[in-house]
Amino acid sequence: MIIDRLFNEVEKKGNVCVGLDTHLDYIPVNLKEKYQDIDEILFEFNKEIIDKTYDLVPVYKLQIAYYEAYGIKGLLGYKKTIEYLRSIKKITIGDIKRGDISSTAQMYAKAHFEGEFEVDFVTLNPYLGFDSLTPYLKYIESGEKGVFVLLRTSNPGAKDIQYLKVSPKDEYLYYIVGDKLNEIGVKYRGSCGYSSIGAVVGGTHIEEAKEIRNRYKNMFFLIPGYGHQGATGKDVSLYLNKGNGGVINSSRGIITAYKNYKDGDQRFADYARKAVLDMREDIQSERGV
């Protein structure tokens, strides 16, 4: 199962998920001048970072919005990047946060689990209800694919909906979502103990970390919020379980790390590698490995 592959990769390489949220402003001018088309620029930047980090990284996440923003060529850059990652056997997360009625969700599943935009995991939004997940289940059942459903996100606005208290138990809404996902996920647990139905849990809120980790022992977490958004290695470690059970995403902190160095433009991928190493150490020193 894909979740076992991810678990094993984390065992070997640690918890750093590199977020390739590639804004054109993040790319050194000299690289931008070398290529004519946006798809090439995006892809070549991503490829250099991948080539310098793949031995340290269990999984790469692409935020599709950054590619959509550049239109057809942008999405071509997305496609090329995920194809490259898959060709070198790296695990990929398409951060698409789609959520729609089931006939439409079926088309999204086709888009991102087959064909040109095929990735190993996608992120999903639960607002439309659990029938919106159904079209993804056959792919998960095949063992090849997995999902991370939004539980509690890393942004301040997470409070607006996800933290509403639901009667009669007066529990946070995200627990209603989590409990249901946990229940659906039982059927899709790998030999590692985790389910291929995982959850997105922002690392920026630490108060409830222990409760969430305990409540969902078999759920693998995709944890955003490290670095730029404020979560530390100590914060995010609270969501791990013996150093596994989660991957921690960082994007800007890694792919724009080079901007802090004089020779950064020439060596952006080296500085991305350094940022991954630093982050890995920051997390590992806290998880007690």
Q: Is 91 in the site for its own copies (CB under 8 A)?
A: no
Pick one of 1, 49, 75, 257: the residue that binds its own copies (CB under 8 A).
Answer: 75
86 exposure class (CB count in 10 Å sphere: 0-12, 13-18, 19+): middle
Q: Is 186 in the site for its own copies (CB under 8 A)?
A: no
- ∠ CA 110-23-251, nearest 5°, is 80
Query: In terms of Cα–Cα distance, which of 249, 159, 268 is closest to 198?
Result: 249
Q: Is 85 in the site for its own copies (CB under 8 A)?
A: no
Amino acid letter, residue 250 = S
Pick one of 155, 183, 259, 285: the residue that binds its own copies (CB under 8 A).
Answer: 155
Q: Is 137 in the site for its own copies (CB under 8 A)?
A: no
Pick one of 29, 33, 87, 156: the residue that binds its own copies (CB under 8 A).
Answer: 156
Catalytic one of 32, 47, 73, 97: 97
- Judged by beta carbon, residue 75 or residue 257, the one nearer its own copies is 75
Q: Is 24 in the site for its own copies (CB under 8 A)?
A: no
Pick one of 150, 209, 223, 254: the residue that binds its own copies (CB under 8 A).
Answer: 150
Q: Is 289 in the site for its own copies (CB under 8 A)?
A: no
Pick one of 46, 153, 195, 241: the residue that binds its own copies (CB under 8 A).
Answer: 153
Residue 97 catalytic? yes
- Determine how many CB atoms are found less than 10 A away from the CB of residue 101: 12
Catalytic residues: 97
Chain residues that interact with its own copies, rule: CB under 8 A? 21, 23, 63, 65-66, 68-72, 75-76, 79, 97-102, 104-105, 107-108, 110-112, 115-117, 125-132, 150, 153-162, 164-168, 170, 173, 176-177, 180, 224
